[in-house]
Amino acid sequence: DGGITQSPKYLFRKEGQNVTLSCEQNLNHDAMYWYRQDPGQGLRLIYYSQIVNDFQKGDIAEGYSVSREKKESFPLTVTSAQKNPTAFYLCASSIRAGEGFNEQFFGPGTRLTVL
């Protein structure tokens, strides 16, 4: 079945450690996104990528890094520079970036807790 997978589902990290969240899609979508969700709040965009080997900062990119070496993969690294990383992280993809319908499909999310 086509879709988006994120791993792990739950992740615990000690303060000062970097951690990488995985996001893979087999939908052949060009665009991929990372969002952060805090309790009781909506989603905020961290990074997005319109095409392989290209990505742009979203609204809250500080303390995060990404790569897009393959069309199907868009891993997110939460660095020690991120002051408050405990949150729910959602990865999404869409056929292309741009105007129009262009629905985003979401993965199941990774819940990151910093101990």
Partner 1 sequence: AQKITQTQPGMFVQEKEAVTLDCTYDTSDQSYGLFWYKQPSSGEMIFLIYQGSYDEQNATEGRYSLNFQKARKSANLVISASQLGDSAMYFCAMREGLRAAGGFKTIFGAGTRLFVKA
CA 22 to chain centre: 8
Report the residue from 23, 46, 76, 90 that binds partner 1 according to the rule CB under 8 A.
Answer: 90
Q: Kind of pairing, strands 10-13 and 110-114?
A: parallel
Among residues 101 and 115, whose Cβ is nearest to partner 1?
101
> Nearest approach, Cβ of 96 to partner 1 (angstroms)?
9
Question: What is the spatial distance between Cα 40 and Cα 104, in angstroms, rounded to a whole number?
Answer: 21
Report the residue from 72, 86, 95, 105 that binds partner 1 according to the rule CB under 8 A.
Answer: 105
- Regarding 88 and contact with partner 1 (CB under 8 A), the answer is yes
Q: Which stretch binds partner 1 (CB under 8 A): 11-19, 21-29, 71-79, 88-96?
A: 88-96
- Regarding 2 and contact with partner 1 (CB under 8 A), the answer is no
C-beta of residue 78 within 8 angstroms of C-beta of residue 18: yes
Question: What is the spatial distance between Cα 37 and Cα 48, in angstroms, rounded to a whole number?
Answer: 15
DSSP codes, 46-81: EEEEEETTEEEE-TT-TTEEE--SBTTB--EEE-TT
- Regarding 102 and contact with partner 1 (CB under 8 A), the answer is yes
Instruction: Lay out the site mask for partner 1 across 21-60 (x = CB under 8 A, - = otherwise).
Output: ------------x------xxxxxx--x---------xx-
